[in-house]
Structure 1
Amino acid sequence: MKSCQVIISVPEKILLAEKMNEVSFGREMTILAAVKLYELGRLSSGRAAELAGMTRVEFLLNLERYRVFPFENELKELENQV
């Protein structure tokens, strides 16, 4: 699948505060974006995992780290059907 590169500017102070280099910070930002887009229901868990560079299972297991319940959207859909 073709990928596109997105460039954001980050103040150097942020990298120093986070004790990260550009590569590590970029990786973390990508994962955070995937988690948030999944949490908002804008990406499926499979697409979010793809964005995060993980398998779907790895992504779902890592959601706990970000305090996101893995099947929130699925539960809401089931509640709406009842």
Structure 2
Amino acid sequence: MTRITLDLPEEVFPIQYQSPAELTQAIRLAAAIYWYARGEISQGKAAQLAGFNRKEFLEVLAREKVDVFLVDFDNLKQELARG
């Protein structure tokens, strides 16, 4: 496992996180959602990064109003043109 260390100023530590562990989990989830929404990682990899199984990750995506299925509209247009 890769370990990453972040030095954050105390004043940017969001008050809703009671511990560094909670903040770490929130950052992992935010990264997973961001990279998944950009199409940079799969749902499975994003779930793994966030520390969830795939079903749990899909529930988080729904709660956060992030599209569960990403569509590349250029590819879709090409597929539709082919019939």
| TM norm. shorter chain > 0.5 | yes
Gaps of 5+ in 1: none
CA-CA distance at 1:7 after TM superposition: 1.1
Task: Give secondary structure in 2 for the equivalent of 1:69.
Answer: coil
The aligned residue for residue 76 of structure 1 is 72
Q: Which amino acid aligns with 2:72?
A: K
Among residues 54, 58, 61, which one is paired with 1:60 in the alignment?
Answer: 58
State the 1:65 CA deviation: 2.5
RMSD, aligned α-carbons: 1.6
Percent sequence identity over aligned pairs: 27
The answer on 1:19 being equivalent to 2:16 is yes
Q: Give the letter aligned to residue 76 of structure 1.
A: D
The structure with the larger Rg is 2
Count of aligned pairs = 77
